Structure 1
Amino acid sequence: MSTSGFAAYHHMGEIDSGFFVQTYPDKAGTKLDSCTLCHSGGSYVQNGKVTTLGSCQWCHYSYGYDASGKIDETLNPYGLVYKTMGRSSSALKAIEDLDSDGDGYPNKVEIAALRFPGDKSDDPSKVPAPYRVFSREQLECLPQHTQFLLMNAHKSTDFYAEYTGVSMEDLLKAAGMLATATNIKVFAPDGFSQYHPLNFDPNPIFYHVFGGYPSTVYNYSENADISENPEGWCDYSSLVGSGVKNGDPIENEDGLKLVLAVFRDGDYLDPGILTPQNKLDGEGPFRVVPPQKVPGPPDQRSTATNQNVTWPFDPAADHNAGFSTRSTTIIKVEPLPEGTTDINTLETGWKYVDEGKIVVYGAIDPVPTILGKMDALLATLKSSSWKSFKNPIYQKILLIEVSLAKQLAKYGKHKAALKLLRNSVLEHADGCSTAEGHPDKDDWVTDCNLQKKVYWDLHELIVLFGIIV
């Protein structure tokens, strides 16, 4: 998975990114070359909803653009000790042998393995979970679902709209969801996240993935219509609703479902942007649209002083708009498979908004990820100098063995592919990753920098194969 989006954090006069790249030049542009190296994310609860922020947004939220907060509260254990040691290249070198996050691995080992030294859940023994990246064009090639419905909000304007996209159920099937999956979490780049169980849950704020939602009727009131009443609270301007009268059944040919929407009223969704107030404006390129579990009319805004209206605010009403994730860029399928950890999510969100992409990761079929990682490993071996090997012939043998393992995986021979990688390839590239820290007599890769990369690439492949073997 590309990590180029992580490096876009050299801002506000900060100096630490330069020190890190100076100390570890080969890590420039990787996931470590980011705010998350030293800063942690965080969560806050508002109106009963949990919003989880990535390291950048959490820093802006808790420390503030005006630096009025406490910076230490945004730092992870690695960032705290780095700050204590003086924030310099020498400080980074001085803390290499420490285990800042207490996961059993020294900082330098985690950095070599592209793992965050300040995040206990991200250690070299775990690998990023399987993932699939979908472009907007690919989503449009999946079965399409269209539905006209009410988006009922707490404070903002309610509205009726027609959304078209992919049902979440069909998207997860296309991603190869595993039978072990129980729920998903969806994320927007501003840090908003939402939990969705796969099956129906009686909790009114948990909008399910599988199955439909109850049909409803069109609720119109001139009193509520913002085009007729300056104090109205519902937008009825969608042309799809023209000609529909109050109380008429809303007809949706395929019913109502939890949908990842691409279109609204026939047009692509407006891409989301982050305002100077650190708020998300817009809803595209993708929006998770949950229908009401308990159908009802558009009720008055909770903040309105005049509640003597047709439909006054009802705190018990189904305010589905508040659980609709705008500018969705990440879908996490839980629980994560054993031995895996989160891919890098919130930090790359805006990159996906710009490119019109969404990533699905977690409890999904690992084979596409395995094949992609094998291609990367083959490219590494092929582009390396023959001088990095005990003998040039060993470079060719390793290329043949990894290519064979890839073909076995491609045609479903997963056990055979795993056995080949574990018993034949790995044993010739593991000496530098042991306590001795140098090639052993069985190693064919003799350059330790190359060998460590090959070793960790093989480790990731072995863990991923373990999901299905």
Structure 2
Amino acid sequence: MRYCRIALLSVLVVLTSVPVSLAAYHHMGDTDSDIFRDVYPAVAGTKLDSCAVCHTGGRYEKYPGSNKWVDMGSCQWCHYTYGYDESGDIDDTLNDYGRDFRDQGRNADALQTIADLDSDGDGHANGDEIQAVRFPGDATDDPTMVPAPFRIFERSQLEQWPLHEQFLLMNTHKSGDFYALYSGVPVEDLLDAAGILPTATGIRVYAPDGWSQYHPLDQSEEPSFYPVYGEYPPAVYYYDQTADVALYPDTGWCSFDSIGAEDLSNGDSIGVEDGLRLLLAFTRDSAYLESGELDASNRLNGEGPFRVVPPQKKPGPPDQSVKSDHQDVIWPFDENADHNAGFATRTTTIIKVDPLPDGFTDINTLEAGWNFVDEGKIVVYGAIDPSETIYEKFDLLMSTLMDAESSAFKRHSVKFRFILKIWIARLFVEWDRPEKALDIVNNRLITRVDGCALRDLVDYNDWIITCDNQKPVYWQLHELKALINLLVDINSPAE
């Protein structure tokens, strides 16, 4: 059983709000989610179809006085504070919306009662936020914010690319060094395929247990910054029997049993075609990486399906663990050594490209990822080409309009007219005329569905005459406008 995944959603759902066949995981016997979906059926399969609607994340200090903090999503925080044994107080995990729901009776009537409240104090009523697929208990997530552009890649897709294989030392600080033959795609190739923008400066890599690691795009003097682009220094192979855990399980500290170590001797140069790179690996020693999962203490076991692997910037030998009392060895612990393994990211599900374009916001990185672990997927989002996201949004909007009853429109013919304009706008994007698409969305469509969102009533010129149908369309057009405007800016010649 994967303990935390019961409350987490796939990143696709977090980003797009497109209904998918895979629903959120829920606790056994928990009826709150069923009640929420009964009152708001449109949330099924979206990011709101999760425990994060009512529960908050949190953080704790790694150890007293360390000033190092561990951030947790709602699922992990609940299990950390409430406990798998349910010994804690579940109310301590509730956000403001969850507390309002509890206080009003924790039933369908309670949801209706609090729909007009603004639980998180962000200036938007709970019901409006839910219609816009935003968390009503999170003040940092409101309808005006537009999730950044994204691309989703599957392992089966990446396996068709030119693969990069590299044998290297994973030098750890305290948990045991090892040599490994990793195979995958260079992270720079992944970013290029995602359409990284010229404004990008670095990436932040996330795992679903809350771990994150920053990498600049280019070389940096900072020892802890492992760059995305460029070749890392070549390395040599270090071997000594006294360090070999296979020979000395009690006193050794490095594993040399990788298939890449065959025919290598101490001091041999390690040859890597095209050089060592920051790698998005999905195999190790010719086998798929074991998928990560959380144990009962919220610790991540495994490293797959993807691991971001940085080679050493300052190649050196596998040094002894800092925890060992036996430092009178050939390679004792060296605080200044390059412990590259500590900057690798196991079970990578998300890569954020910094900085986000103006007017865009993050996806909820603490609430996403475990479904992608199961499905062998990874998402890249942020400062990348928005074209693919625009097509996703157009498809979602078309689906929303086609599913709406004709009676929700001012006239029966208006529904067809609306869909036709959306289709034409999409064609303009495909024809590299995003400015034409922006004109349609901004000047001919948004103004026809803005009454309920801006004034909470239907205007005389609105094409959709019920607020329940109008508001979701307005916010989808709002997102499309921002994304297409970004595409226009990208295509505009620099001054």
Show the counterpart of 1:291.
311
Question: Which range moves more in the overlay, 392-401 or 254-263?
Answer: 392-401
Show the counterpart of 1:350.
370
Distance in 2 between residues matched to 1:42 and 1:334, nearest whole Å: 24
CA shift, 1:93, in A, is 3.4
Pick one of 177, 186, 196 that aligns with 2:196: 177
1:385-431 alpha-carbon deviations (Å, 9 max, x no partner): 32222222222221221111001011211111000111112222222
Cα–Cα, structure 1 residues 71 and 195, in superposed 2: closer, same or farther, change >3 Å? farther
1:248 aligns with 2:264: no
Distance in 1 between residues matched to 2:448 and 2:182, nearest whole Å: 54
Distance in 1 between residues matched to 2:215 and 2:81, nearest whole Å: 27
Cα–Cα, structure 1 residues 22 and 371, in superposed 2: closer, same or farther, change >3 Å? closer
Contact 1:258 1:288 in 2 (8 A): yes
Distance in 2 between residues matched to 1:243 and 1:49, nearest whole Å: 43
Show the counterpart of 1:222.
241
Identity of aligned residues (%): 55
Contact 1:128 1:343 in 2 (8 A): yes
Cα–Cα, structure 1 residues 386 and 89, in superposed 2: closer, same or farther, change >3 Å? closer
Pick one of 327, 348, 361 that aligns with 2:381: 361
1:428 aligns with 2:448: yes
Distance in 2 between residues matched to 1:253 and 1:416, nearest whole Å: 46
CA shift, 1:9, in A, is 4.2
CA shift, 1:200, in A, is 2.1
Distance in 1 between residues matched to 2:21 and 2:308, nearest whole Å: 23
CA shift, 1:348, in A, is 3.4
Amino acid at match of 1:61: Y
CA shift, 1:5, in A, is 8.9
| Matched residue count | 468
Partner SS state of residue 52, structure 1? strand
Distance in 2 between residues matched to 1:191 and 1:107, nearest whole Å: 27
1:257-296 equivalences in 2 (<5 Å):
257-296=277-316
CA shift, 1:383, in A, is 3.5
Contact 1:16 1:87 in 2 (8 A): yes
Cα RMSD for the two superposed structures = 2.2
CA shift, 1:73, in A, is 4.8
Question: Which range moves more in the overlay, 118-127 or 22-31?
Answer: 22-31
Amino acid at match of 2:315: P
Show the counterpart of 2:98.
79
Distance in 1 between residues matched to 2:33 and 2:228, nearest whole Å: 41
Show the counterpart of 2:39.
23
Cα–Cα, structure 1 residues 382 and 82, in superposed 2: closer, same or farther, change >3 Å? closer
Amino acid at match of 1:16: D
Contact 1:5 1:351 in 2 (8 A): no
1:111 aligns with 2:127: no
1:442 aligns with 2:448: no
1:412 aligns with 2:440: no
Distance in 1 between residues matched to 2:290 and 2:146, nearest whole Å: 35
1:373 aligns with 2:389: no
Pick one of 412, 418, 421 that aligns with 1:398: 418
Question: Which range moves more in the overlay, 127-136 or 199-208?
Answer: 199-208
1:35-184 equivalences in 2 (<5 Å):
35-44=51-60, 46=62, 51-69=70-88, 71=90, 73-184=92-203
Q: Which runs of 5+ in 1 are unaligned?
A: none
Cα–Cα, structure 1 residues 193 and 51, in superposed 2: closer, same or farther, change >3 Å? farther
Contact 1:31 1:344 in 2 (8 A): no
Question: Which range moves more in the overlay, 427-436 or 84-93?
Answer: 84-93
1:203 aligns with 2:219: no
Show the counterpart of 1:11.
27
Contact 1:6 1:34 in 2 (8 A): no
Distance in 1 between residues matched to 2:82 and 2:127, nearest whole Å: 28
CA shift, 1:72, in A, is 5.1
Distance in 2 between residues matched to 1:251 and 1:326, nearest whole Å: 25
Amino acid at match of 1:30: T
Partner SS state of residue 183, structure 2? strand
Contact 2:178 2:256 in 1 (8 A): yes
1:275-298 alpha-carbon deviations (Å, 9 max, x no partner): 233222211111100111222211
Amino acid at match of 1:32: L
Show the counterpart of 1:452.
471
Contact 2:147 2:362 in 1 (8 A): yes
Partner SS state of residue 309, structure 1? coil
Question: Which range moves more in the overlay, 272-281 or 458-467?
Answer: 272-281
CA shift, 1:322, in A, is 1.6
Distance in 1 between residues matched to 2:194 and 2:73, nearest whole Å: 25
TM-score normalised per structure 2: 0.88
Partner SS state of residue 246, structure 1? coil
CA shift, 1:175, in A, is 0.5
CA shift, 1:66, in A, is 3.0
Show the counterpart of 1:328.
348
1:359-393 alpha-carbon deviations (Å, 9 max, x no partner): 11111111111011112222222333322222222
CA shift, 1:81, in A, is 3.9
Pick one of 26, 33, 36 that aligns with 2:49: 33
CA shift, 1:204, in A, is 1.6
Cα–Cα, structure 1 residues 167 and 156, in superposed 2: closer, same or farther, change >3 Å? same
1:383 aligns with 2:403: yes
